[in-house]
Structure 1
């Protein structure tokens, strides 16, 4: 059984989280600074997939609070298409990510993480919340 990989996709930064071998817990792995390049993300994901034997991608769907599609969700769908093309044997599961970034900021505020460090880890923490949401629904 492979690991699940959580993705908080963004045009500038993309947070990555991974499950343990049993698929019970999620840990933050890294934030990919992609600066608008999906190729950078896909290249790094290829390395992660090989290293961690990933068998499922779980990506957050940034829909609006009223449940409608946002501009970011359209961009995420475009990335999912690229992800499926590059990794055609690995399923991609899209889940609601509303408020994951808000929760990530709350967590960092609670832990007194300074603003400079927040930028580097908020997306990774959001990816953990996305992956935990998937694990908890199973």
Structure 2
């Protein structure tokens, strides 16, 4: 397992959830929810978060269908990740499978007593935590970085 903090990003149309982990990659915690409708502004905020946290890499959740296929949402996230990679280079960006992360996050919030109205503001952060925790576990088990690297195209 590589040592270093990671940032996870759960990209949505309205909001972008952000989570980080400790330098040992043990525990993922929520950071904030970035408004997602104004994409240039969202990229500026994410760049500021990366500068503040100085992560080893950023993992971005890639929405796939239950069968593993990719649709329009995945294409949108790939384009978002490509722009993010350009903005934060030389920090690497990796795409990781995020199937069921929002469902898992929502169930976890409900189980802890957070209701849907209040939950909307934190579900994206919770989904980012789920994505990051899964990526950390994948790397811990396989010994290899999770998902696929996003190459910077200029």
What TM-score comes out, normalization by structure 1 length?
0.94
Q: Which consecutive residues of structure 2, in runs of 5 or more, have no partner in the other structure?
A: 140-154
Q: Deviations over 1:53-91 (max 9, x none)?
A: 122010101011111102110110110111111112111
For residues 33 and 83 of structure 1, the distance between their equivalents in structure 2, rounded to whole angstroms, comes to 15
**Alpha-carbon contact 1:104-1:126 (below 8 Å) kept:** yes
**Alpha-carbon contact 1:31-1:123 (below 8 Å) kept:** yes
For residues 95 and 49 of structure 1, the distance between their equivalents in structure 2, rounded to whole angstroms, comes to 18
Match of 1:115 in 2: 116
1:33 deviates by: 1.5
The reply on whether 1:17 has 2:19 as its aligned counterpart is: yes
Match of 1:125 in 2: 126
For residues 25 and 49 of structure 2, the distance between their equivalents in structure 1, rounded to whole angstroms, comes to 16
For residues 47 and 2 of structure 1, the distance between their equivalents in structure 2, rounded to whole angstroms, comes to 18
Q: Which consecutive residues of structure 1, in runs of 5 or more, have no partner in the other structure?
A: none
**SS class of match (2:56):** strand
1:114 deviates by: 1.8
Match of 1:64 in 2: 65
1:2 deviates by: 4.0
Count of residues in Structure 1 that have an aligned counterpart in Structure 2: 137
Match of 1:52 in 2: 53
> Which ranges of 4 or more aligned residues in structure 1 deviate by more than 6 Å?
none
For residues 62 and 110 of structure 2, the distance between their equivalents in structure 1, rounded to whole angstroms, comes to 24
Higher relative contact order (CA 8 A, sep 6+): 1
Match of 1:8 in 2: 10
**Alpha-carbon contact 1:48-1:54 (below 8 Å) kept:** no
1:101 deviates by: 0.4
**SS class of match (2:109):** helix
Match of 1:43 in 2: 44
**Alpha-carbon contact 2:10-2:16 (below 8 Å) kept:** yes
